[in-house]
Amino acid sequence: MQKIVMGALAVTAGVLGLALGHEQTVHASALPGTAQSAYLRDTTGYVRLKKTMDVGILKKSGKTYKPLIKKKGSLLAVAGLGGSQADKDKKGNIVIRAAFTSGAVHYQRLKQLKYHGMISVPFTKQNFKNVKLKAPVRTLLFQKGTGFKTNDMGLTTPAAFYLTLDNYLQAYSGTAMAKFAPNGGEWRMAANNVWKPTSAAKVTKVTVKGRTTTVDYRTPVKGLPNKKVAKHHYRLTIKDLNQKRSKSFFPVDDTYDSLGTWQNYKVNGKRYFVGNMENGLD
């Protein structure tokens, strides 16, 4: 099948493959001759395995990498999806295949992993179960402040943090963010964001009520507005303010080069935002 590259759209005759750097939504929609009932929907972002199997993830072993056999119940991010007229089952239906990653897990785990990058695993309901993340803030990159801002050098790069898929808080100083994501253009973390955190902590509990997510952990995370609840018990309360904002940046003649859009949050009363910057506007 078609080899995929993170963040790129790859199309060849008879083959449709989509790889998302942020592993959120994939589309192989309505390929003629597909037995739709046998496969998960093409908007599936995360799945859990119904059986132990090899899904194309490799783990470092010494100086090389070996296949990591994922256990039943493992959470996976869908990185690509596709099908080909030349690839059909015994009933003549096109086989929908997928590529997977670990998703945005914590740094120490993520740096040990590599991926085949091939859309090759049959995306059947027999093997996978669709999963919707219970905490909507999970993998979102929270940047400090009320939205994108500029200085003499261009866009500022504030400190940031995110909650990983495997329950870690990872925080990044402004200096670290300037190295990993100049101008703060990232909004959702994925398997290709192998960023060493400035500070981190294992999360003990995540609860969601309406637009508020509460994250509990045992040790304070440098750079975050940690609230001490008790000895060895800290908490972040993340409130979605339901405020969407946008602003144009860098005027060129009678237009602008960039458009920033973001959502506002409060984290223990401090202002944060999750945003995306679209550059190179006409």
pLDDT of residue 25 exceeding 50, the answer is no
What is the predicted pLDDT for the residue at 20? 37
Please tell me which residue, 27 or 160, carries the higher pLDDT value. Answer: 160
What is the predicted pLDDT for the residue at 47? 98
**pLDDT tens sequence across 52-73:** 999 999 999 999 999 999 999 9
Q: Residue 262: in which H helix or E strand, if any? A: strand 255-267
pLDDT of residue 114 exceeding 70, the answer is yes
Return the percentage of the chain with pLDDT > 70, whole number. Answer: 83
Q: Give me the mean pLDDT over the 5-30 stretch.
A: 35
DSSP state of 36: G
- List of residues 6+ apart from 221 with CB closer than 8 A: 161, 169, 171, 199, 200, 201, 234
User: Are the beta carbons of 276 and 185 closer than 8 angstroms?
Assistant: yes
Please tell me which residue, 149 or 224, carries the higher pLDDT value. Answer: 224
User: Are the beta carbons of 120 and 56 closer than 8 angstroms?
Assistant: yes
User: Are the beta carbons of 171 and 224 closer than 8 angstroms?
Assistant: yes
**pLDDT tens sequence across 129-164:** 999 999 999 999 999 999 998 877 678 889 999 999
**pLDDT tens sequence across 157-192:** 899 999 999 999 999 999 999 999 886 668 999 999
pLDDT-derived band at 41 (thresholds 50, 70, 90) equals confident
Strand partners, 262: 245, 275
User: d(Cα 74, Cα 214) in Å, to the nearest integer?
Assistant: 24
Give this prediction's pTM.
0.85
User: d(Cα 187, Cα 128) in Å, to the nearest integer?
Assistant: 27
At 274 the three-state DSSP class reads strand
What is the predicted pLDDT for the residue at 102? 97
The tokens 């994939």 sit on which residue?
26
Count other Cβ atoms within 10 Å, centred on residue 84: 20
pLDDT of residue 236 exceeding 80, the answer is yes
pLDDT-derived band at 259 (thresholds 50, 70, 90) equals confident
Dihedral over Cα of 165, 101, 78, 35: its sign: negative
User: Are the beta carbons of 203 and 216 closer than 8 angstroms?
Assistant: yes
